[in-house]
Chains A and B, each alone.
Chain A
Amino acid sequence: MNLDAATIEGHFTDPVLDAQATFRALTDVMARPGTRAENFPVANPPAPLSSQAGAVALALCDADTPIWLDSALREESAIGGWLAFQTGAPIVREPAEAHFAFVANPANLPALENFGQGSQEFPDRSATLVLQVETLSRGEQLRLEGPGIETAAMLAPHPLPRHFIEQWAQNRARFPRGIDLVLVSAEGVAALPRTTTISKEG
């Protein structure tokens, strides 16, 4: 681990209250798929890990939660150092071992089924994937239905993993097993719990 300034700095301004605010915003968007949290506390991780993704890591990750990084984030050694110093979370190479996955380049993401799905007895032992997307509103319009949504909600994230609609339908069909997604962007943060049904609009 290289202990330069970028590794040591960049935590929340107020670690306790910012972690609470981050978690609460995540709770809101996880409980109401399609909604966006716009005032997300600021973290300053080394690029290309985004501020919002960094905030999620600071709020939820610690020594109990192995982290998987996609190749774009793994290549930047400062990120592994930052996560290790700030959260104490081990970085793992195998997607299946991770509790959290941070992804800077969603278009190149391995298939969702490679990540921890939990078991039928313990479906909570599944991965949460944090995808850094460019936008939540200017991509292809997705129609969301399911718990947390009164009738239907819309979300238009971009970029998304390959064959996302089909992959997500498989993920939904595995319920109660499956992964959960957090989508972070400069526009805000949204989430797709495994219960959400996604279809293309129109």
Chain B
Amino acid sequence: MSATAEHIARYNFAYLDEQTKRMIRRAILKAISIPGYQVPFASREMPMPYGWGTGGVQVTASIIGPDDVLKVIDQGADDTTNAVSIRAFFQTVADVATTTETGKATIIQTRHRIPEESLTAGQVLVYQVPIPEPLRFLEPRETETRKMHALEEYGLMHVKLYEDIARHGHIATTYAYPVKVEGRYVMDPSPTPKFDNPKMHMSPALQLFGAGREKRIYAVPPFTRVESLDFEDHPFQVQTFEEPCALCGGTGTYLDEVVLDDRGGRMFVCSDTDYCEKRQASASALLGEEDAR
């Protein structure tokens, strides 16, 4: 037995026991057939603290197979602690191939960004979700929010967005911006910047959401309508950036602000590291060709 195989043999494949996986798999199938509805599930303790993506990890562990290629991003980056450790976790317990390239991944587990590169039909995007209930900060009682979803009573959410407008002149919600799925359920898209909301609409990829501490799984099937809530006179708008990315020169991507010194120096760079690196590589390849001429 090789060292890796020995290592894996101490766990069941993909860490979770089979009965847990069946329970989560049943929840995922119901979530797919009721888009945007939060399916309760018996979330397990995982070998990482709540808030580090235990929900996403349980969803990924339940769907992943030996042929999958896994990518994990944390705020768009492949090289941050959360992303690196979750990738290492699945390399250890499921012996799967991993990648940082969006196009090569079959499963992408994400914490709060959707890759800039368009997703394709074979891909599954797994979101780590802290608070799955979009109405939770408006109504703390689960019994009440459940009834509000049952009755499709979402007036409170519109009042919240209206109060934004009354106070700030525009809808000031910039992340975890509520969406309506297939004209029925109001859903929290996890704390992604609202910049990413349009990517959820009619995406060819399957989107699964796992909230470990709150014990909820929900889904958006491919080619499903996902509309950001707004008003006729205050239509939904995504944020725009004045400058291009300082590294790749890209426009139309979501940028992170990087503070450079203590004298106000700063730069804006793509939050999606894979996208940015690819653009830099193709730009330098192009430069190389020009030099050769």
Contact = CB atoms under 8 A, between A and B. Distances in A.
A128 interface: yes
A15 B18 contact: yes
Contact of A19 (B21, B34, B202, B223): B21
A124 B39 contact: yes
Nearest to B33: A193
Given A27-B32, A60-B25, A126-B30, A148 B19 contact: no
Nearest to A120: B150
Nearest to A14: B13
Contact of B18 (A16, A124, A176): A16
Interface string A23-53: 1101100111000000000000000000000
B13 A16 contact: yes
A180 B22 contact: no
B150 A121 contact: yes
Contacts of A27: 25, 28-29, 32, 63, 206
Contact of A30 (B13, B29, B204): B29
Given A180-B29, A195-B33, A147 B182 contact: yes
Interface string B180-198: 0010110000000000000
A17 B66 contact: yes
B221 interface: yes
B246 interface: no
B29 A32 contact: no
Contacts of A195: 33-35, 182, 221
Interface in B1-19: 12-14, 18-19
B224 A176 contact: no
A30 B12 contact: no
B37 A62 contact: no
B63 A19 contact: no
B146 interface: yes
Contacts of B93: none
A59 interface: yes
Nearest to A15: B18
B65 interface: yes
Interface in B25-63: 25-35, 37, 39-40, 62-63
A164 interface: no
Contacts of B150: 119-121
A23 B22 CA distance: 9
Interface in B208-255: 219, 221-225
A30 to B, nearest CB: 5
Given A31-B221, A195-B35, A16 B206 contact: no
A31 B207 CA distance: 10
Interface string A118-156: 011111101010000000000000000001111000000
B34 A194 contact: yes
Contacts of B223: 147-150
Given A59-B25, A148-B221, A30 B146 contact: no
Contacts of A147: 35, 182, 221-225
A124 B37 contact: yes
B221 A24 contact: no
Contacts of B40: 122, 124
Contacts of A32: 121, 221-222
Contacts of B19: 62
A187 B286 CA distance: 49
Given A27-B206, A176-B37, A180-B33, A60 B26 contact: yes
B224 A148 contact: yes
Given A16-B13, A23-B63, A60-B25, A31 B32 contact: yes
16 contacts: A16-B13, A16-B18, A17-B13, A20-B64, A23-B21, A24-B63, A24-B65, A32-B221, A122-B40, A124-B30, A147-B35, A147-B222, A148-B223, A176-B185, A195-B34, A195-B221
Interface of A: 15-17, 19-21, 23-24, 26-27, 30-32, 59-62, 64-65, 99, 119-124, 126, 128, 147-150, 175-176, 180, 193-195
Interface of B: 12-14, 18-19, 21-23, 25-35, 37, 39-40, 62-66, 121, 146-147, 149-151, 182, 184-185, 202, 204, 206, 219, 221-225
Given A126-B30, A195-B221, 9 more contacts: A31-B206, A124-B34, A124-B37, A147-B222, A148-B32, A149-B223, A194-B34, A195-B34, A195-B182
- CB-based closest 10 A-B pairs: A193-B33, A124-B30, A120-B150, A147-B224, A148-B221, A31-B221, A124-B39, A147-B221, A23-B25, A180-B33
